[in-house]
Structure 1
Amino acid sequence: MILSSLATCYLALLAGLPVEGNLVEDTLPILSYSFETRQDQDFDDLPDDWSRRKGPGYPQYVDVRIDRNLGHSGQQSLHFAVNGGHATIYSPPEKIDADHAYVFRGYVKTQRLLHDAALISISFLDHKRQRVQHFVSQPVSGTHKDWVEVTLGPLTPQANVRFIVLGCHVAHNDQKDISGDIWFDDLWVGSLPQLDILNNYHRHFVDHSAEIRVSSRISGLNPDNQYRLDLELVDNSNRHIADSSLALVTKPEDLKAVEHSRLLDGNNHTEVWRLQPMEYGFYEVRSKLIRDQKSILEKKTTFAVIDLVNPRATGEFGWTISEESENLAVKELPEIAAQAGINWIKYPLWNVMESDDIHRTSQVAEMLDQFTNRGITPVGLLNHPPKKLRSQFAKDWLGVSGIFTMPSSFWSPSLEEVFARYTSLVNYWQLGGDDDNSFIGLQNLNETLKKVKSQLDLIGRDTHVGIHWDWKTPLPTDSMPQSFVSINNAERLSAVELARELQNARLSPGGSPRWVTLTPLPKDEYSAEARGIDLAKRMVTAKYLGADVIFASSVFHEQHGLLNRNGSPTLLFLPWRTVAIALQGARYQGAFNMPNKSTNHVFMRDDEAIVVVWNDEPTEEVIYLGEDVVATDIWGRRISLERDANTHRHTLRVGSSPMILRKCNQQIANWRLAAQFEIGKSRSEYGGHPDAVLGKNTFLQSVRGKAVLNVPRGWEVEPQEWVFDTGAGEKYRLETFMTLPSNASLGRKDVSIDFDIFAERKYSIRVHRPYHVGLGDIMVQVNDKKLKGNVLEIEQVIVNNTSPLETLQFRCSLFIPNMKRMQRFITELKHGQDRKLYYIPNADALKGKELWLRAEQVNGRRILNYRWTVGENWDKPDTISRKQRRTENAISVR
């Protein structure tokens, strides 16, 4: 609990990156404090020239003095006697410059701390000795037998920095300790050369045709050392793309002696690495500064090669920014968001007014206005109440519902300034963040929302109020006008689980608009490929099942964010962008039946069809989609599609990663979706079955067409070919009569229809449609199992689901290669099931063989045929194979 409370208390004092490897050993020391006697010349038990903070909340009764009996490396240290209050002591300012980076190392020891913690801060001051940058270490609490090493850095000062100050702190939040001990010792700061990779929007998001420019700024080099700058470029798969190495010479006389070198003019130099235009995708630049053959500094940055787009005015995708921070690139964020395919953005606005930066409120307002200008609707998050308001709840804090269920006079004063400043820019407000569960199951929920909305309407107009929900709790069915529910789940539902929840939500009566928040998989637990695939599938699922808005949660999150703090993309930015740009504002039309059963979803927008397709098993699908199809993977990389010279059909190599097909012919896609069987299923009886092919002319003109029905071998179809004429938008019906052979197997059969359509030109379209043999009124299940003694056991189960109920009798025959067929008889089967067993010797010899079970109805026309391969489920002897389950599901469709 101490960590989370201190994170709140010290939100403005974010620490720098930790020191890696032996970075401390590679620095030049500039100051150190060991609190030995030589640093207390006046013997007042305090280090010379250090100053203690005074004022409210910092009582002087907290004893701070040098402990002369305990030290880390020496005999003494700085001791704090914890006594229920804050305490801070600062070192005297020490001169530094902005050409170097700085590294801190110190040691802390604590005893008997439950709520308080020890921290060390570093402040950078300008020439007026005003603080311009502040960093704080991770807190140390509890009881430690040994000293705890604390590090910060490398810390990069701003250009106006002239001094550094160290601070030792004892701090707490709502709860505090009244006893305990803290010691600080061996505080040390060293300097390093400074290496920065210059970042801005145009370096992070590069048009496909543009030159790549990577700019590195180097300063603080020592003329007595030799330096080299190494650069490497890798892609999203960590594959090496390019590299560069340049010696940095500080002495003119050394220039000729070093190959591939550059003489630095002064102590602040910018080196630009130019690369030819790159293929679409995600790239990372790794920069190393080498001193005397040893790497002393490393920096990374990322960029994405994309086609820059003009923002669309409407769409269903959005981002959540859960924490307001002055480190965010608010000036560049609107442009980045516009290139990410979003039309919604949540931003925390409650605590903006508490910023130490007097310009922050106007900067945020300008950012919100820029969002609106790019078709992005801002949503104000009221998730971080002011500390003064929050502290009134002490231990009883459950979430912001505790505030908003109070009379409006309790909370409205803290929001008046926020509303007055931003309601002209923000019409949507969410009470609490996407992790605030306090409204779930709340009594008088509608009354609470109405109360907040009425307060908002006093200042703004057309305001909408929403709350967070989760998938575990039934959604609220009573809807209030202009409200919304934002649904999140910390367990990260898979695409299949999300589909199930969204389908249930669609069946729920009434209710407010459902916004879905997707939390990507964390980078420390999953590969980049797995994370991208999972995010893309969930985005497509939420889109086709009709989520009103689809948000990515916490886009700056270290583990699952889409952006780094400086605005550069993470690995997940491109999968998000590729899907969002493709489906932004599109409407869902349905799915194609593909020969190899690949999952696919078809969307329409403007004059194009967009198809997203994947398959758990690698396969190929052959399908004609139009003349101008563009295929990409989820990283935005172009995929070359093979085409048949005669049929013009595309060959799609489909795998688990979604393929996105843009610019598909919309008229052809709609024709394919419209063509279907009128009945599409028949009884499991020998003989004829009438049916018809139905469809619609989806072209913008009259067409003349020819259709040919392709059926499994042995089926008889009359007629099998048709010639027809139909006007634009007209429907057609092609009647036929199917006769199934007596050995037709139960289940789903792949039937196709070839259309030759003559419009402004000839189009050849093959449409795949399933045809079901068996209505599901009688089901056959088969399971084979290897027993001891190499005996094959075959279990046959026939289920009678007829309605009205029929009493059935069957003569069952099991056909086995090179063996006499085996028979069983079923008599008087009423509602329910009949189970029969067959035993065959030498099971291993039959593994991989196809067996055929045939059940002929006595005194009836039904003939049930079932074929399967032996041994598919031997690794799970008590279960039914996947293939069999698919067949059962297929034949149970009524």
Structure 2
Amino acid sequence: MIRSFRTIRLSGSLRNRDSSDRAPIDRKYLPDRWSVIAILAIALAAFTGTGLTDIGQAGLLQAENIQQTDTGPAMGSPIQEKLEELQQRFDESLKSFVWDFSRSADTNYDGWPDDWQRRTGNRYPQYVKIAIEAHDLKVMRETRDVDATVMRFWPSIRKWFPSLPVLPPSLADLLCDRYLRIELDGGLAMVQSQKVPTSRMYQYRFSADIMTSGLRHDTARAELVFVDEQGMELESHSTPIVRGSSGWKEYAVNNLRAPRLAKYMFVRVSVEGGEDGLEDIRGFIGFDNLRVEPFPQLQLVTDRPLGIYDYGSGVTATAVVLGLPKGASRVRFHLFDADKNEMASEASSIRSLVQSTPIPSNISVSSEPSESRSATTDMRFDWKMPRLSPGFYTVKAVIEGTGVDELESQTTLAVIEPLVEKRGFGCFGWTLPYQNQRDTARTALDPSAIQTQGQHSTIGIPQDDGTIPPRDFVNWLLQIGVDWVKYPAWIAPDDEVRASQIADLFTRLQDSKIQTVGLLDRPPEDQFANYDLRSQREIVASELFRDFEVWQPLLEPVMSRLTLKVRKWQLGADDDFSFLGRTRLQESVKSIATGLQGYGQPLDITINWPWNEPTLSSQQRSWKAVCRSIQPALTAEELDAYLSLDPESRRHVDAKTWILLNPLPKGRYDRDTRILDLIQRMATVRKHRVEAAFVSNPHDSETGLLTSDSRPDEMLLPWRTTAQLIGDLRQMGSLKMRSRANSIIFAGETRAVLMVWADNPTEELIYLGEDVYAIDVWGKTSELPLENYENRQVQRVKIGKLPTFLVDVDPDLLAFRMSVELKQTQLDSILGQTQPLELKFKNPVRDGLAGNVRIRSPMSWKFEQPSLNWELIGGRDTTEPFNVVLDNSAKVGRYELALDFELQTIPPKRFTVYREINVGPHGLELKATTDILEGGQLKVEVEMQNHSEKPLLYDCMVFPQSGRQYQRRFISVEPGETVRRDFYWSDGAELIGTTLLLRAGEQDGHRILNYEIPVRRQ
């Protein structure tokens, strides 16, 4: 089909025929040369039957997909015959459905697609024009002129070709591309096609070409809708919503599967108004080439529906092939770790399976969605994977063969092990989405809706069979590390079944020590009319709870039952700030709480409050908690700043602080950035008095933790590892690491965890206790054996960009290390004179503590007494003095001092703490650079910056090590100035790799600066 054109080019020649027996033709009725050519081309096409295609009734094209043959088993072999029988039956039913709004879609020429239906009624007026239009009106007019000319000469042409039809084919019908056009006029529109059969044997690709012009409020989209035998809608899948003005573009939805009980499907196009209730009165929308393409279906499942495996348990993946394409010879499995490295692979032969499996006599590839019938066409290939260590994995299955289009499927799984011996009361949790919300029915995590089909899990409307019990659902939450759950509980007052399910779930959650919050965010859709809402934008808590006489009778039957189980309730979804700015807010929330409470226990009400708005004082509020959030999400540093200013998070008060803690969007940030950001924000939460932190929708494709079918996504294990390890600990500070890696200490009553990470890979040699081990973000444990370093026992810790958690560290030892500091940050460069150096530390335990400390320093430093014994009572600190003398060879710069401690405990603890100190005059910053010039000279540039309040004058001499003559300069630097001086030596290449010594003597002072300058090219 031609989309559009500007020029019609027809070629050929016309033979002269003897027309002496024909009556002369009046030349004024003769067409021009191109029309004659067009007439003869059309006649020839009609005569030979070429160029014309019957594309079915009502514009519904059923196009058979052509498959290439395979060079499989030998022709005539039993295996080959069985394969061909399977493939032939499948290919016969592999049809595409296309609605292209061509002429055959409008057989009665009324401008409306045949057998299509239009929605009418409130907000869907008839005066909104919907009709089939040509893409190019100029081409339409020109081809109709040609059709008129052909019609005049058709009787004469039929005399030459008697077999031609009575009426000529229409050039306009053949060449003009058409589409469905909707002209906006202040109303909405929805039209749908006739129903066509569907089957669960296939997966579908749905696509539509959409064009919009002049839209300000309205939006457009196309949907593929599945219905049951009675025509009841089961599921719909929408293209992305189109707004504004956009040229023709294809929008597609891939990998769709008909739901259980689906027998038919149809396409639906719609124009919807804005969320504010406004609708466009100008503009238009076009739809074309609505296409539903079936493909062989390859499902990949594992033997645990939600993909969570305990370490040590076996994992079996099953590839289910529905509809065997020609040429397919094997199914290959691939296993990848979290870094996309292939861990294992295995291929299963289709030939072997067919050879060992008889073809059932009732096998069928009918499009009817009979479950029993389609089940017999399944081909199942199992792969028992090798033993997996804890971590996140992706499993992929691919059908391979000659001439087979790429067909693959993948799923995810996680292998976990307990990370803590005893579960504490953590603060991290999830908000579970509204289970009946449109287009999210399959993504809602609803224990009564998690059903297993074979080995596969889907999330959907509860069924009578195959459901996972609430007990298993709660155990799954415990495995993952969820300590808080917000659960939607606004249901119809007469829905006893659902109320019983929620009450049972709440009981099990509470019994498992999972803090439970009832969420009242939106009523069932069939109750919207009761609330007199003008638009979708008004489905917010402040509007729903506006009229006590409306909402209280509808919620009273539900709340009287559920408030016996749960005391904490949140008004509005997590992003609902509708109470902000409401007048008499304190009285309103108090009235709502009283109405929800009824005759039950008093309720703890939570409302949502944005971070950029200050919270109200205790005298102005009647709620118990506020849930804080903002878009875009705060960074860890911003979150720390906001929580530091928030009075509720800084002290024990009646109003608690909750926050939202969603991962960064997947489409905008790489995986490691998202993981580090999430863990840093979770660590910040444990620094402040935050009662709970929630992931607002764990199934969100961009900011969630799970896939749409509730299997692990890449962010789940980092969230779980962090939540389980630090969820019940408090952030205590950080360690100064010798490797300059970042660190945060978390501690509780009986255990402590040290989290470390670095911008670049490094390692740290440090003693943290006897039985320390490391856990990465994927939950994998690594032993940290002790080794000798500088006569001390240390652990070698490898540190990367992603955090590593060091577990079972000695909390007292961490606290002692944190307390060690040098009171002086700088020693003056006065050589040969005694200078004080004081060391401060604290006994972190309640009992008395004694020990010894020794300072290891450069050889040019001399201590009167480098080692001291000390003794401290519990909780006290001390400052121990050391006197140091710098000899004439002492250099200026930054030094690391090793502080060797030995604690008189049982057994004794020996460890080293490293601290840095500067040597040099206060207020002077000294730098030097080297370079080899074009002539071979060595250039040494010495730079001095004076940060003090008095002028400085130094006599500077630079000594090469090779015995060459030293050079001398005087450098004077005024306060606040930077001065540079250059030194030059010939044959500078000979000095590369050596070290020059700068010795600068202070004029009218006692300071001598020794500074080493390594020689290198810039």
Taking the aligned partners of 1:231 and 1:254, their CA distance within structure 2 comes to 20
Q: Indicate the structure (1 or 2) with the bigger Cα radius of gyration.
A: 2
**What are the within-5 Å matches in structure 2 for residues 550-629 of structure 1?**
550-552=693-695, 554-629=697-772
Given that residues 719 and 736 in structure 1 are in contact (C-alpha distance below 8 angstroms), is that contact kept between their aligned partners in structure 2? no
> What letter matches 2:445 in structure 1?
A
Matching residue of 1:281: 391
Deviation at residue 74 of structure 1 after TM alignment: 6.5
Match of 1:798 among 932, 938, 946: 946
Residue equivalent to 1:160: 261
**Aligned to 2:226, which of 107, 114, 124?**
124
What residue in structure 1 maps to residue 908 of structure 2? 762
Aligned counterpart, 2:412: 302
Aligned counterparts of 1:403 and 1:138: Cα–Cα separation in 2: 29
Aligned residues with identical type, % of pairs: 25
Cα deviation for residue 628 of structure 1 reads 1.5
Superimposed CA distance per residue, residues 416-456 of structure 1 (whole angstroms, 9 cap, x where no aligned partner): 788667655555555666656777xx6689x5256324422
Change (3 A) 1:183 1:591: closer
Moved more, 151-160 or 850-859: 850-859
Cα displacement string for residues 225-255 of structure 1 (whole angstroms, at most 9, x for unaligned residues): 6453222111111111112222335995698
Counterpart residue identity of residue 281, structure 2 = I
SS state at 1:816 partner:
strand
Q: What's 2:446 paired with? A: 330
My pick for the range that moved more, 613-622 or 25-34, is 25-34
Match in the other structure for 1:194: 297
The 3 A distance-change label for structure 1 pair 93 and 643 is same
Aligned pair partner of 1:212 in 315, 328, 337: 315
Q: Flag the 1:113–1:757 CA change in 2: closer, same or farther, 3 A.
A: closer
| Bigger mean CA offset, 592-601 vs 485-494 | 485-494
Q: 1:644 to 1:536 in 2, by over 3 A?
A: same
SS of 2:759 mapped into structure 1 = coil
Letter in 2 for 1:177: D
Residue by residue over 1:5-29, the C-alpha shift from the partner in whole angstroms, topping out at 9 and shown as x without a partner, is xxxxxxxxxxxxxxxxx99887821
CA displacement at 1:618 relative to structure 2: 3.3
Deviations 1:779-825 (A, max 9, x none): 22345578999865544233337xxxxxx675534342333443346
Distance 1:409 1:825, change over 3 A: farther
User: CA separation in 2, counterparts of 1:355 and 1:866?
Assistant: 85
Number of residue pairs matched by the alignment: 822
Is 1:668 the equivalent of 2:813?
yes
Corresponding position of 1:812: 954
> How far apart, CA to CA, are the structure 2 residues paired with 1:476 and 1:820?
71
Unaligned runs of 5+ in 1: 1-21, 257-263, 802-807, 876-894
Q: Which amino acid aligns with 1:277?
A: R
Q: So what's the TM-score if we normalise by structure 1?
A: 0.77
How far residue 745 of structure 1 moved from its aligned partner, in angstroms, is: 6.2
Change (3 A) 1:297 1:312: same
One-letter code of the match for 1:668? L
Change (3 A) 1:71 1:145: farther
Structure 1 residues 71 and 663, CA gap change in structure 2 (3 angstroms): farther
- 1:779 equivalent in structure 2: 923
Q: Which residue type is aligned with residue 775 of structure 2? A: T
Residues 1:477 and 1:93: Cα distance change in structure 2 (over 3 Å): same
Structure 1 residues 98 and 656, CA gap change in structure 2 (3 angstroms): closer
Matches within 5 A, 1:600-749: 600-641=743-784, 643-645=786-788, 647-676=792-821, 687-689=833-835, 693=839, 695=841, 705-723=851-869, 729=874, 731=876, 733=878, 735-741=880-886, 749=895
Distance 1:213 1:234 in 2: 15
Specify the alignment match of 1:101 in structure 2.
Answer: 203
Choose from 326, 348, 364 the match for 1:246: 348
Residue number in structure 2 paired with 1:14: none
CA–CA distance in structure 2, aligned partners of residues 607 and 708 of structure 1: 30
Distance in 2, Cα, partners of 1:635 & 1:656: 14
Aligned with residue 970 of structure 2, among 823, 827, 852: 823
- 651 and 253 in structure 1: CA distance in 2 versus 1, 3 angstrom threshold: closer
What residue identity is the alignment partner of 1:762?
A: P
Q: Which residue of 1 aligns with 2:191?
A: 89
Q: Secondary structure, in 3 states, of the residue corresponding to 1:635?
A: coil
The residue type paired with residue 730 of structure 2 is: R
Paired residue for 1:260? none
Q: Using the TM superposition, give the Cα deviation of residue 137 of structure 1 relative to its aligned residue in structure 2, in angstroms.
A: 2.8
State the alpha-carbon separation in 1 of the partners of residues 939 and 823 from structure 2: 46
- 1:149-548 paired onto structure 2 within 5 Å: 149-173=250-274, 174-198=277-301, 203-221=306-324, 226=328, 228-249=330-351, 266-290=376-400, 293-308=403-418, 312-320=423-431, 325-327=440-442, 328-331=444-447, 334-346=474-486, 353=491, 367-379=505-517, 403=543, 423-424=563-564, 427-428=567-568, 448-449=585-586, 451-460=588-597, 461-470=602-611, 480=621, 483-488=624-629, 490-491=631-632, 494-495=635-636, 498-499=639-640, 513-544=656-687, 548=691
User: Using a 3 Å threshold, how does the CA distance of structure 1 residues 683 and 246 change in structure 2: closer, same or farther?
Assistant: same
CA distance 1:186–1:685, change in 2 (3 Å) = closer
- Which amino acid counterpart does residue 211 of structure 1 have in structure 2? G
Q: What is the distance in 2 between the residues matched to 1:36 and 1:155?
A: 26
**Stretch deviating more after TM superposition (782-791 or 521-530):** 782-791
**1:282–1:304: 8 Å Cα contact kept in structure 2?**
yes
* CA distance in structure 2 between the partners assigned to 1:542 and 1:562 by the alignment: 19
Partner of 2:51: none
Q: Flag the 1:24–1:753 CA change in 2: closer, same or farther, 3 A.
A: farther
Asked whether the 8 Å contact 2:506–2:516 carries over to 1, the reply is yes
Give the TM-score, by structure 2 length.
0.69
1:486 Cα deviation from its structure 2 partner: 4.3
State the Cα deviation string for residues 179-226 of structure 1 (Å, max 9, x = none). 55555454443433332223686652111111112233332336x664
Separation in structure 2 between the aligned mates of residue 142 and residue 235 of structure 1, nearest angstrom: 42
The residue number in structure 1 matching 2:897 is 751
Letter in 2 for 1:781: E
Q: CA deviation at 1:400?
A: 5.6
Residue 132 (structure 1) shift? 2.0
Label 1:792 to 1:156 Cα distance change in 2 as closer, same or farther (>3 A).
Answer: same
Distance in 1 separating the partners of 2:897 and 2:194: 84
CA-to-partner distance for each residue in 1:552-605, whole Å, 9 max, x for gaps?
Answer: 454333223221121112212222222222212112333333323322222223
Matches within 5 A, 1:841-852: 841=984, 852=998
The alignment partner of 1:338 has SS state of helix
C-alpha distance 97-291 of structure 1, shift in aligned 2 (>3 A): farther
How far apart, CA to CA, are the structure 2 residues paired with 1:685 and 1:322? Answer: 69
C-alpha distance in structure 2 between counterparts of 1:265 and 1:398, whole Å? 46
User: Is the alpha carbon distance of 1:389 and 1:468 closer, same or farther for their aligned partners in structure 2, counting shifts above 3 Å?
Assistant: farther
Q: Residue 833 and residue 140 in structure 1: after superposition, are their counterparts in 2 closer, same or farther (change >3 A)?
A: closer
| Displacement after TM superposition at 1:302 (Å) | 0.8
Deviation for aligned residue 1:662: 0.7
Segment drifting more, 116-125 vs 155-164? 116-125
Give the drift of 1:503: 5.3
> 2:721 & 2:547 partners in 1: Cα distance?
46
| Cα displacement (A) at 1:715 | 2.9
Q: 2:701·2:708 contact (CA, 8 Å) conserved in 1?
A: no
Q: Which amino acid aligns with 2:748?
A: R
